[in-house]
């Protein structure tokens, strides 16, 4: 198992987050990182800001579902993530600064993340 740091970014300053994870490979973390990126984007109400950027002349009361869908389809313009292998020369105390979001060695943590993935997929269908 390897340790990883997941960087979540948005198009706006001050809304980035970092998390830790334990997995066999970076590929094992792609879905988790995507969910974290979308959650971060949603938690900071960035969808409203992105819609304002895309449609500056549209009043907030006139925003349609099609406009929201178009912004969500262009998510790469507004949020993303990178995954890097943890540098083992860093102090162990630094690892503890971040929230552990995925641990392939702990079935309880991995199961929790799988539950979140199902919930998120259901939420995305409603958007």
Q: Which residues contact 43 (CB under 8 A, 6 or more apart)?
A: none
**pLDDT at position 127 over 50:** no
Q: Which DSSP string corresponds to 13-55?
A: TT--EEEEEEESSGGGGHHHHHHHHHHHHHHTTHHHHHHHHH-
In terms of Cβ atoms closer than 10 Å to its own Cβ (0-12, 13-18, 19+), residue 119 is exposed
- Which band of pLDDT confidence, cut at 50, 70 and 90, is reported for residue 70? confident
Structure-token pair, residue 71: 């912004």
**pLDDT at position 125 over 50:** no
Convert the pLDDT of each residue in 19-69 to its tens digit: 999 999 999 999 999 999 988 888 888 888 888 888 899 888 888 899 888
**pLDDT at position 1 over 50:** yes
Average pLDDT, the chain: 83
**pLDDT at position 3 over 70:** yes
- Which band of pLDDT confidence, cut at 50, 70 and 90, is reported for residue 124? very low
Contact 4, 84 (CB under 8 A): yes
The pLDDT, as a whole number, for residue 118 is 37
pTM reported for the whole predicted model: 0.73
């Amino acid at each position: 198992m390897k340790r990883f740091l997941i960087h979540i970014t948005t198009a706006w300053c001050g809304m980035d987050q970092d998390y830790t994870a334990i997995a066999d490979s970076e590929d094992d973390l792609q879905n988790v990182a995507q969910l974290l990126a979308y959650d971060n984007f949603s938690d900071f109400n960035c969808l409203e800001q992105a819609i304002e950027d895309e449609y500056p002349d549209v009043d907030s009361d006139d925003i349609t579902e099609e406009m929201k869908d178009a912004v969500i389809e262009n998510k790469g313009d507004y949020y993303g993530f990178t995954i890097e292998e943890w540098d083992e020369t860093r102090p162990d105390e630094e690892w503890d600064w971040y929230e552990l979001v995925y641990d392939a060695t702990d079935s309880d943590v991995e199961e929790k993340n799988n539950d979140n993935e199902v919930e998120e997929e259901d939420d995305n269908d409603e958007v």
